[in-house]
Amino acid sequence: MGLKIGFIGLGIMGKPMSKNLLKAGYELIVCDVTKAAVDEVVAAGANRAASPREVAAQTEVIITMLPNSPQVRQVVLGENGLIEAAKAGSVLIDMSSIAPLVSREIAASLAEKGIEMLDAPVSGGEPKAIDATLSIMVGGKKVVYNRLHPVLKAMAASVVLVGDIGAGNVAKLANQIIVALNIAAVSEALVLAAKAGVEPELVYQAIRGGLAGSTVLDAKAPLMLERKFNPGFRIGLHIKDLTNVLETSHELGVPLPLTAAVMEMLQALKADGLAGADHGALVQYYEKLAKVTLAPLA
């Protein structure tokens, strides 16, 4: 493809995303704190780097997929960070989900050295990261977005430029509100059905084709019924995202009462030791209150 890309952050999402870039024909240099993850992607055809600085020294485009704002700041601006070696004209695509204000602060620091930035968080979880059908919401300059659109499309079914730098993360905050509230609604509905003595799986089948049907319902209800709570997206990460949502909403003076309520439910699950479970485990909060457990058909 004639474009050398760096990829930093090979977790649940980053690892399959990086592999899809390799499948698309891009030359890739990867870096992560977990050696096993790096080894796996190197075995798929990537080259390794020992630090973010080393990644930046060898590439024109650097993608970061990291847990939160502090990690992105450290990788980009910290010791041995990207900023120490990135060349003027190179581009950082931060695909982490972080606070919009932090995206703008990092972009401003990079701009002083002539380095461009897009904030491009994703939605879809691990399954869509694996099959390259993620939704990507992008903030940044249109000319930079247009140039790197093919790179983003190698990992996604939908890529939309929503505004200037930081706008991608604003869109992601909106996404995370809707996902969290939808999971809570699915949980409430299925637990009600179970407590009323009606088979929850049949209720799911009955309502999924109507107005209550949604991507969240189809993605999470079967897993709730099958008691599969291994993480596609961890409760701890959704807490992180809703923390960014509520901090941003407080700064803007936007009350979000439903989001705040779901945040407390997730915090209760974290206190019960479920921070590493999939956010679909939110159903367990309702099960505990109602003293009932969903079960699949025999």
**pTM listed for this prediction:** 0.91
Q: Which pLDDT tens digit goes with each residue over 182-213?
A: 999 999 999 999 999 999 999 999 999 999 99
Q: Give the per-residue pLDDT at 1.
A: 54
Active site residue 172: yes
Q: Give the per-residue pLDDT at 295.
A: 78
Give exposure, 143-180, as e/b (b: 16+ Cβ within 10 Å). ebbeebeebbebbbeebebbeebbbbbbbbbebbbebb
Q: Which of 141, 172, 228, 270 is an active site residue?
A: 172
